[in-house]
Structure 1
């Protein structure tokens, strides 16, 4: 098997056409720049494409079954049963249902029998309340399943060492299933080196997807009831505390940084207009570009609520509910994925534009994975007039076009995994980049 060039190319200065790249003599470089697109091993893309095409007719009914039976956080029973049953039929795969104490999580493993890197993929399959698979998680599921199976088959066919792991990760939509698996040791127990996933959208395809860090929490004020007309001085108005804190947030917003987002709503605003309210509460969300910035912004938000307590005399209780880290894409992995995706007919631009197109204010528990190991979340486009978290997107996620787009993304992810299995230098570069990011 011929190894195509991994020559140093810096996208800041050099624009190498695909035709010129094909004509170049093979060169093996011990290091590759983290922000360049990368030539691929000859044959990987063809093998993966043929393999995934061969199981397309099997994957589509799985996608439709998940789509047509939307299930919420940690209750994805049909999706879990469908996926684990199918994977159990694949030769060489070991499947563990209800893994790590999570009823709808699973782990599927393919071992080459030779010591080497461990490449992993995450599958999502939960839905949203009332609007079903309006985030296209049925597509994420078959993308990762197809990618994992193709990588496993190629590993045997091409005599590559290592393992391929497919994690079934429930409850991305606010439940943090990946975080629970991470904390339980699922990734460390399997000695995972890299992790790959995808997400559909109605935006430009991007390999270097970045998401916001976020945290949400319940804010409660406890005061003392009194008659609002007869003896208001005897009361402590919890609602005044909450409103004072809420208004303080509005003042804070004029001095927040680009990328900072503060959201919230009042869930309990009192029970009658003629009493001093003994209880008031709300749910609030804080987002920022990075988890480091999020910590700074959250501290300022908390001071706003503390000001409400100080002004009203009500007792303040803040209860954390859920939080996701920002997703930090690994540029080494992104360079490989971008090349593979574009050779399949995609049009992801150079690394600098890739980072711009890949930026989103949304959040995902894949962000926590990116702080634990080199991670990539490939964004692929499906035909939809609206974006995710809209009923129209759920309809689009069921189409044949969306199915084909998901499989193309799966092919790119599979090739990315194979390149890591085949190159110690590439894996080392990905890990070195990750180390530098995690040390910041």
Structure 2
């Protein structure tokens, strides 16, 4: 096991050999080996698990300052220049990795590729690193970044050690918070050009660990009503009140909520409600969001919500304009990938329950552009718990995401994701099963 100085900054990265000598397993490794045997699992190669665990432990001290640098320099969507430069600079020091900064027309996206030189599947990991306005890394994207980097590097090193064929691709995906960076990469052909077979990522939270995280489908849009001004006291009949149209629609949405399904969410706020009370308002506007458990249900809900806005226009006489905004598909976890990940994570001391319960624990009404990835290829988003009194998108969670305990939790998740990718690289049957499940899911959406 190598030892490293804890205070590595900027250019002072240490080049760790990819051929880590496993002289003596650490605590996680002992637990992993014992637990795998107790479970009688054949889904995880013990040698891979032991090697990955030791390798990631050996680079923990390098990844920690990277995480802190991203955390302490929060950058908004598509402006993550410090994070982009820190990550790409580091990856360029890694033997065997080809790094492309500012990839696919986005200044803060990147692609890093490791090719074993032997034909095989292509596994990929997504890296997130954008922050939230005013509350910084309160979604823990600094942890997502080092988790994916650790997983990708460990998978590549293991491929060399054990002669595993295939490729590992690491995608730097900016703008998850409302920017849809992964969607932009999908549309630009990033995943298809690299012939990616599966995609893996993680996300921290203050909820139980989960391999089968599901998220809601989401769509945002801006609503505008255009009326006609008139004096509100002297001649109101000459005006067309745009605000009346918006308020009518807002009230209709409140009534609609009584007949929506569990998982349906309608949110919105009024951004323009008029300038003065003594004028009939010629303009009113708001921004609204709808969410549902899947994109098929979202389409139905979106139509019902649209009818409410049409009703506002009909009632007030104002002209309605709806401008679509960002939209994310729901994330559909691949159960085959989830089964492998669960075995690996639990072998490292985790307690993720069986699939049926995991699907319940892993359900989230939040949304992410990783959902669109799950409709393009088999995908998994491993949820790992960090100690925090509050959940994501709260300043307290940003504080928790900086702790050493959170760092260790992220690397534990990275170990499980590395092993998950390696099992897919090593087993044609597993990859075939994951693909078949994926195809069945797509067919189910079309029915």
- TM-score bracket, shorter-length normalisation: over 0.9
Unpaired runs of 5+ in structure 2?
1-32
Residue aligning to 1:353: 357
Q: Which of 118, 121, 125 matches 1:117?
A: 121
- Whether the 8 Å contact between 2:252 and 2:308 is mirrored in structure 1 is yes
Structure 2 equivalent of residue 12 of structure 1: none
Deviation at 1:270, TM superposition (A): 0.4
What SS does the aligned partner of 1:270 have?
Answer: coil
Q: Structure 1 stretches of 5 or more lacking a match?
A: 1-17, 26-36
Deviation at 1:251, TM superposition (A): 0.9
Partner of residue 80, structure 1: 84
Residue 22 in 1 paired to residue 37 in 2? yes
Of 298, 315, 318, 1:314 maps to: 318
Partner of residue 428, structure 2: 424
Asked whether the 8 Å contact 2:43–2:423 carries over to 1, the reply is no
**Equivalent position of 1:329 in the other structure:** 333
1:384-399 to structure 2, matched below 5 A, reads: 384-399=388-403
1:154 corresponds, among 152, 158, 162, to 158
Are residues 1:297 and 2:301 paired?
yes
Cα separation, 2, equivalents of 1:390 and 1:242: 30
Deviation of 1:438 after TM superposition, in Å, equals: 1.0
Aligned to 1:367: 371
Is 1:198 the equivalent of 2:202? yes
Distance 2:194 2:359 in 1: 30
Find the aligned partners of 1:289 and 1:209 in 2 and give their Cα distance.
Answer: 12
User: Is the counterpart of residue 275 in structure 1 residue 279 in structure 2?
Assistant: yes
Matched ranges for 1:89-128 at <5 A: 89-128=93-132
Give a deviation string over 1:178-226, Cα, whole Å, max 9, x none. 0000000000000000000000000000000000001010000000000
- Whether the 8 Å CA contact 1:329–1:374 is kept in 2: the answer is yes
Cα separation, 2, equivalents of 1:57 and 1:24: 32
Aligned pair partner of 1:215 in 216, 219, 225:
219
SS at match of 1:419: helix
The equivalent of 2:265 in structure 1 is 261
Q: Would the alpha carbon gap of residues 288 and 62 (structure 1) be closer, same or farther in structure 2, given more than 3 Å must change?
A: same
CA–CA distance in 2 between the matches of 1:191 and 1:322? Answer: 26
Separation in structure 1 between the aligned mates of residue 37 and residue 394 of structure 2, nearest angstrom: 42
Does the Cα contact within 8 Å between 2:211 and 2:381 map onto a contact in 1? yes
1:289 Cα deviation from its structure 2 partner: 0.1
For 1:302 and 1:275, how far apart are their aligned partners in 2? 28
**Counterpart-to-counterpart distance in 2, 1:69 and 1:235:** 51
Normalised by the length of structure 1, the TM-score is: 0.92
How far off is 1:439 after superposition? 1.3
Instruction: Decide whether the 8 Å contact of 2:35 with 2:347 is kept in 1.
Output: no
Find 2:47's aligned residue among 17, 30, 43. 43
Q: How big is the shift at 1:126?
A: 0.2
Q: When the two structures are aligned, how many residues end up with a matched partner?
A: 412
Secondary structure in 2 matching 1:113: coil
Contact 1:38 1:335 in 2 (8 A): no
Q: Give the C-alpha shift of residue 41 in structure 1.
A: 1.2
The answer for the alignment partner of 1:175 in structure 2 is 179
Q: Deviations over 1:3-56 (max 9, x none)?
A: xxxxxxxxxxxxxxx97972798xxxxxxxxxxx86311201100001101100
- 2:74 paired residue number: 70
TM-aligned CA distance change 1:121 to 1:398, over 3 Å:
same
**Distance in 2 (alpha carbons) for counterparts of 1:22 and 1:246:** 58
Q: Structure 2-normalised TM-score?
A: 0.91
Structure 2: how far apart are the matches of 1:205 and 1:186? 30
- Root mean square deviation of aligned Cα: 1.2
Are residues 371 and 143 of structure 1, via their aligned partners in 2, closer, same or farther at CA, if it must alter by over 3 Å? same
